[in-house]
Amino acid sequence: MAHIYSVSQITHAIKEDLEARYPFLWVQGQIGTLSRPGSGHIYFTLKDREASLNVAWFKSSQTRSGVDPGALETGAEVICAGRMNVYPPRGIYQLIAELVEDRGVGGLQLQFEALKRKLAEQGYFAPENKRSLPGHPSRVAVVTAAESAALHDFLRLSRRRGWPGEIRIHPTPVQGDTAPDSVARTLDEVNHLGWAQTIVLIRGGGSLEDLWTFNTETVAKALHRSTIPVVSGIGHEVDLCIADMVADVRASTPSHAAQLIWPERTEMMQQIDETESTLYQAWKSRYTRTCDELEGLARALSWLSPARRLKQLQHTLALQESGLHRSADFLLQTNRNRLQHLAHRLQRVFGPDTWRVREQAIQGLEDRLEAAARAHLRGKGSELDRVADHLEALDPYLPLKRGYSLVTVERSGEFLRTGEQVESGEDVSIRTEKEEIGARIK
């Protein structure tokens, strides 16, 4: 039997397929029926000769449009940008409009689609050409209009994110006839300087005409040839420009660009805390495992009865200690008897008279030794004086007392003896008797 779907099942299946297939698109047509309920939302049909499409334009999205919502009327030719949606309670599909422009921008939209196809064929949008952003960049170049709201939003949010770093502002016009060349030239200049780790290209929201600088081939080529990763944050979330598709990373808003470049500091601190907790748990697990292994080894050792072996060794040690004491006592008594015997012999051989004679001989030797020592010391003193005089004559700092000075080359630490040891602009040190002076060779 064939599977039977419920109304909800088939409706939600269509909803998922349609919304996934058309997450964002542009639709051109004429306004048919128009409804303005008290909520401030606007509902109308967009039609051409063969079909009509329901459109819901909610109040929160009306401030970003190039058309005055109050001036919208039946019969007007408009272009709507938004996403497809299925409304299950009524079983209808509709366009949720994020942006409504009058038909005057239709030509720009055609140019947009034509350039998009051209650059896609040339590989400008290929994912394999996209570069990853460096982690926690400390040197960021911002290309945008000076004193713009987009710049203030980016700087305000960047102060609360990432590690401390340096941001350089490269001001350039972002709207007008000269803007594309100016933006491209600024991007090339940032790449030529080579200072930045990341380039941020931002601009506040506006109509399709206001954002047209970022839909030009000039800017697209400058982004494509950049050797530094580029983050683009043009307009609001619904604004999708050629520059967004060429850039390495696309941010939905200028503030979102700061979020993509730097993580939130609170998140970083939380990651550190989580890492600390993980390390502690790993250490605790390792410690517990090691303790269990030691307990297992202790039990295995007890199974081998080491206590009995220790008692045997202690008994053997006690026997050896007793034998050692006996041997020591015997040896000590033997040596004592021998010393007494030798003392008696010495007493007989070296009596008082013998000591007096030897004492007189020793006294004579002492006198001779003292005289010889004095003479030797006098000779060595004279020799030491001669050496001291000679050493003092060789002292390189002795001439400093007479007004001379020593010049030391800073690079090599050697004394300057010839001009070939130094070059122009090299630092030297001049040593006088009381001070040291820094100098540079002209």
Which range has highest mean pLDDT (74-83, 199-208, 217-226)? 217-226
Q: Which residues pair with 81 in a beta bridge?
A: 26, 99
- Comparing 129 with 75, the larger pLDDT belongs to 129
Provide the 10 A C-beta neighbour count for residue 236. Answer: 18
Same domain, 202 and 143: yes
Query: Residue 296: which domain range?
Result: 269-311
CA gap 4, 345 in Å, rounded:
133
Does 151 lie in the same domain as 216? yes
Rounded to an integer, what distance in angstroms lies between the CA atom of residue 59 and that of residue 23?
20
Quick one: 161 and 67 in the same domain? no
Task: Assess whether pLDDT exceeds 60 at residue 1.
Answer: no
Question: Does residue 93 sit within a domain?
Answer: yes
Do residues 137 and 179 share a domain? yes
Query: Does the pLDDT value for residue 82 go beyond 70?
Result: yes
Mean pLDDT of the residues in the chain: 85
Of 83, 107, 131, the one marking the end of a domain is 107
133/210 same-domain check: yes
Clarify whether residues 188 and 259 are in a common domain. yes
- Shared domain for 100 and 219, answered yes or no, is no
Q: Give me the pLDDT at residue 164, please.
A: 74
Is 325 inside a domain boundary?
Answer: no
Strands 25-35 and 42-47 turn out to be antiparallel
Q: Alpha-carbon distance 269 to 265, whole Å?
A: 6
Residue 262: pLDDT over 90: no
Q: Are residues 273 and 259 in the same domain?
A: no
How far, in whole angstroms, is CA 303 from its chain's centroid?
A: 55
Residue 306 scores a pLDDT above 80? no
Is residue 367 pLDDT above 90, yes or no?
A: no
Residue 91 lies in a domain: yes
- The pLDDT score that the predictor gives to residue 265 is 64
Return the pLDDT at 171.
94
Q: Is residue 379 part of a domain?
A: no
How many structural domains comprise the chain? 4
CB neighbours of 290 closer than 8 A, spacing ≥ 6? none
Residue 195 lies in a domain: yes
Q: Is the domain of 77 the same as that of 181? A: no
Residues 7, 13, 16, 20: is their CA dihedral positive or negative? negative
- In tens, the pLDDT along 167-187 reads 999 999 999 889 999 999 999
Helix (H, G, I), strand (E, B) or coil at 163: coil
Q: Which amino acid is at 353?
A: D
What values do phi and psi take at 263, rounded to 5? -75, 160
| Dist CA 23 CA 237 (whole Å) | 13
Average pLDDT over residues 290-317: 78
The candidate with the shortest Cα–Cα distance to 112, out of 193, 249, 207, is 207
Residue-wise burial string across 319-328, b where 16 or more C-beta atoms lie within 10 A, e elsewhere: eeeeeeeeee
| Structure confidence by residue, pLDDT tens digits, 368-394 | 888 888 888 888 888 888 888 788 777
Which residue carries 């696309």 as its tokens? 250
pLDDT above 90 coverage of the chain, percent? 22
For residues 177 and 250, membership in a common domain is answered with: yes
Please state the length of the chain.
442
Q: What is the mean pLDDT of residues 346-362?
A: 74
- Which residue from 205, 67, 98, 213 is spatially nearest to 149, judged by alpha carbons? 205
403: left (phi over 0), alpha (psi -120 to 50) or beta: left
335 within some domain: no
Which of 75, 107, 139 terminates a domain? The answer is 107
Give the model's confidence band at 305: pLDDT under 50 very low, under 70 low, under 90 confident, else very high: low
Between 91 and 355, whose confidence is greater? 91
Tell me, yes or no, whether 356 lies in a domain.
Answer: no
For residue 408, give the H/E element and its range.
Answer: strand 406-409
Residue 196 amino acid letter: A
Asked if residue 239 is part of any domain, the answer here is yes
> Looking at the structure, do residues 83 and 12 belong to the same domain, yes or no?
yes
Q: Which residues of 107-140 are buried (b: 16+ CB within 10 A; e: fewer)?
A: ebbeebeebbeebeeeebbeeeeeeebeeebeeb
Statement to judge: residues 230 and 133 lie in one domain: yes
Taking phi over 0 as left and psi of -120 to 50 as alpha, with beta for the rest, 200 belongs to beta
Whole-angstrom CA distances from 146 to 170, 172, 193 are 8, 7, 20
